[in-house]
């Protein structure tokens, strides 16, 4: 099942509810345990903060001892494909 979202307004507040299951939920739990987050909410808040702060729309991660630049696959993006900043 894909991640689904529903945005609603409760009074003055806009609320987004996400349904996360199967492999995506397992990945979130794995990240929570690996990074020692108290809960999945902390994982999501951290990911939001990292993505909000980046200036290039890419994130650098260390994989196999080597720094790699990662970006979302085109299918996740609304418009033109994301390309690494030069």
Count of domains for the chain: 1
| Residue 36 DSSP one-character state | T
**What's the pLDDT tens digit per position in 4-44?**
999 999 999 999 999 999 999 999 999 999 999 999 999 99
**CA-based radius of gyration for the chain:** 15
Query: In this structure, is residue 77 part of a structural domain?
Result: no
Query: In this structure, is residue 75 part of a structural domain?
Result: no
Q: Which domain holds residue 59?
A: 4-68
Query: In this structure, is residue 50 part of a structural domain?
Result: yes
Q: What is the dihedral of CA 71, 4, 33, 67, to 10 degrees?
A: 0
Beta pairing class for 59-63 and 4-10: unpaired
Indicate the pTM of the whole model: 0.77
**What's the pLDDT tens digit per position in 47-69?**
999 999 988 888 999 999 999 99
Query: In this structure, is residue 64 part of a structural domain?
Result: yes
Query: In this structure, is residue 85 part of a structural domain?
Result: no
Cα 60 to Cα 76: distance, rounded to the nearest angstrom: 19
């Amino acid at each position: 099942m894909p991640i689904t979202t529903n945005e609603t307004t409760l009074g003055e507040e806009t609320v987004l509810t996400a349904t996360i299951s199967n492999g995506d939920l397992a990945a979130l739990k794995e990240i929570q345990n690996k990074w020692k987050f108290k809960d999945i909410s902390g994982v999501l808040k951290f990911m939001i903060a990292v993505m909000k702060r980046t200036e290039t729309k890419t994130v650098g991660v260390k994989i196999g001892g080597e720094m790699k630049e990662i970006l979302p696959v085109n299918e996740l993006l609304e418009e033109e494909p994301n390309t690494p900043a030069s």
